[in-house]
Structure 1
Amino acid sequence: MAPPVVRGTAAWRYFGDFRDVLLAGQVLVLQVAHPVVAAGVRDHSNYTEDPWTRLMRTGASLSIYVYGGASGAHFEAARLRDLHRTFTGVAEGRRYSGLDPAAYAWVHATLVRVPVDVQRFFGRPLTDGELDEYYAQMCDIGRVLGVRERDLPPDWASFEAYYDEMVASFRPNPTMTTLFSTIRTVPKPVRWLPDRWWPTLRGWQARGQMFLIRATLPSALREQLGLQWTVADERRFRRFCWVVRVVGGLVPVSVRTVHMRWIGKLNVWLREHPWAYRLLS
């Protein structure tokens, strides 16, 4: 049994680090690389029309089941399972469900991996002890979310082997192509942003997002997708990592996750006070 996610523990320190946003594109690509997830996104997600709202809702959900305490985590787990139960369709000629155990476990696995990769790239790699505690905590969260016990590798080394095996099995699919297109054509996030500014800003964000995706995807999948990566790109990425590492190191540990912790607490409070939630809806 892992310790709960409380101040000072590994998941508390690393899961909501503000630098995690740098891998948002990477984790989306990895998730839709799974054929069942790709089919579910294709058939049931509106992210192409309103990606910013989808991103905010995803962040809110993550904050609840990691930083919302036991009651918040169980509430959000039940909500997610009820939602995914409605996602059904056909993938590669076979019926699928949003609660497909292997696909459900893979989505959880990608989220487990993000903070570890973020610290490896942009911070200080987790020690063996931190990895053990962090992974045990995320397995407990996985159980709350409904991931089957047999789909949770027993330790970090086994998890890495499972992760690498899954990545090696993926091939390009149309949902990934749509995701890349959406990154390049995403509408402006807020109405008050002047229309004349957005094409330039969108171009910057698209180039930056695609660069980070190419930089941080596992090399095997990057090659499968035909994403080029040069020696010059590697040098640029290493310089970027250094800058982020230095800037991030100036921020106290307790501040790096404060946004996710407060979002989690706010969402739990809103769930407990439906009248307030309705006013904001």
Structure 2
Amino acid sequence: METELGPDTLLGRHLRDRRFLFVLPRAVCLQSLHPAIATGITEHALLHRRVWLHHKRTVTQAIRIAFTDVDMRPYIRFAHEDVKGHEPSGRKYHALNPDLFHFQHATYVESLVLMVNTFIRPLDDDEHEQLYRECCAWYRRYGISTRPMPADWPAFCEYFEDQCRTQLSAGEHFEPFRRQMFAPTDWWPRAVPRRAIRAMQHPRAAELTGVSAGSRDRRSLRRFAVTARLLS
């Protein structure tokens, strides 16, 4: 039975919450550490020098796709069919490769769950599973093969950690984005304290970039979460 996506679902309540935009530095840093994703942005995105403006366009469109009645599958293929080339290592990439496309989506899913657990309230096991099922329904709207998509939330967690461990690296593909990852100057991420940005990074991103969070950073994230909750 297909999962319905509407305003009363967990995804409907949380994906359009402004606080999701505040945690995007976690997702986008992981994407920037992926050689194919980072190279694709550098070579094909008009706004690659102001990466948060690029993500403002792409993330806004991704959120719209989750809830629109319009079939966006032709648009997705048209927008990505020419995004291809070679990583710095020489390996070929194509934006429509299901493994690549799904990992990019997965970074949003993982960061969305972090946002709810950190900025709103901890989800229980059933709610984690429900939100994940709804994120799977969101992904199906892209019209890309679901072959890489894990069957349930525990499998997704295992998949995500494996991808972060085996597919990410901090090479020349990441360096053009380093400054903007931890000190955004555009869109909603620029409102997030820099210490909070360090504290919200995935452990693999912290390891690869050498930017680790201390106690002051974690306190900054907790204070920012309280402030964002009061203003929501």
Q: Please confirm whether the aligned pair reaches a TM-score higher than 0.5, indicating the same fold.
A: yes
- Partners of 1:152 and 1:167 lie apart in 2 by 15
Superposed counterparts of 1:191-210, under 5 Å: 205=190, 208=192, 210=194
Cα gap change, 1:186 to 1:126, in 2 (>3 Å): closer
1:34 and 2:29 are equivalent in the alignment: no
- Partners of 1:33 and 1:235 lie apart in 2 by 26
Match for residue 161 of structure 2? Answer: 164
Contact 2:25-2:197 at 8 Å conserved across structures: yes
Cα gap change, 1:229 to 1:188, in 2 (>3 Å): closer
Contact 2:195-2:220 at 8 Å conserved across structures: no
SS in 2 for 1:175: coil
Structure 1, unpaired ranges of 5+: 190-203, 252-281
- Partners of 2:170 and 2:25 lie apart in 1 by 16
Structure 1 position 18, deviation (Å): 1.1
Structure 1 position 50, deviation (Å): 4.7
- Partners of 2:63 and 2:174 lie apart in 1 by 26
Match for residue 60 of structure 2? Answer: 60
Cα gap change, 1:241 to 1:64, in 2 (>3 Å): closer
Match for residue 82 of structure 2? Answer: 86
Match for residue 176 of structure 1? Answer: 174
Superposed counterparts of 1:229-268, under 5 Å: 229-245=213-229, 247=230, 251=232
Amino acid at match of 2:57: R
**How far does the alpha carbon of each residue in 1:174-207 deviate from its partner, in whole angstroms, 9 at most, with x for none?**
2322112346897778xxxxxxxxxxxxxx949x
1:153 and 2:150 are equivalent in the alignment: yes
Structure 1 position 85, deviation (Å): 0.9
Cα gap change, 1:137 to 1:43, in 2 (>3 Å): same
1:8 and 2:8 are equivalent in the alignment: yes
Match for residue 119 of structure 1? Answer: 116
Contact 2:51-2:177 at 8 Å conserved across structures: no
- Partners of 1:134 and 1:6 lie apart in 2 by 12
Structure 1 position 12, deviation (Å): 0.7
**How far does the alpha carbon of each residue in 1:232-276 deviate from its partner, in whole angstroms, 9 at most, with x for none?**
22233223333333x15xx4xxxxxxxxxxxxxxxxxxxxxxxxx
Structure 1 position 226, deviation (Å): 0.5
- Partners of 2:140 and 2:45 lie apart in 1 by 25
Residue 208 of structure 2: which of 198, 220, 224 is its match? 224
**How far does the alpha carbon of each residue in 1:20-42 deviate from its partner, in whole angstroms, 9 at most, with x for none?**
11112221111122221122112
Cα gap change, 1:228 to 1:34, in 2 (>3 Å): same
**Matched residues, number:** 229
TM-score, normalised by the number of residues in structure 2: 0.86
- Partners of 1:115 and 1:179 lie apart in 2 by 22
RMSD: 2.6
1:142 and 2:139 are equivalent in the alignment: yes
TM-score, normalised by the number of residues in structure 1: 0.72
Cα gap change, 1:184 to 1:231, in 2 (>3 Å): closer
- Partners of 1:175 and 1:183 lie apart in 2 by 13
- Partners of 2:183 and 2:123 lie apart in 1 by 36
Structure 1 position 209, deviation (Å): 5.6
Structure 2, unpaired ranges of 5+: none
Cα gap change, 1:184 to 1:154, in 2 (>3 Å): closer
Cα gap change, 1:185 to 1:47, in 2 (>3 Å): farther
- Partners of 1:188 and 1:102 lie apart in 2 by 29
- Partners of 1:156 and 1:84 lie apart in 2 by 28
Contact 2:199-2:221 at 8 Å conserved across structures: yes
Structure 1 position 115, deviation (Å): 1.8
Contact 2:81-2:95 at 8 Å conserved across structures: yes
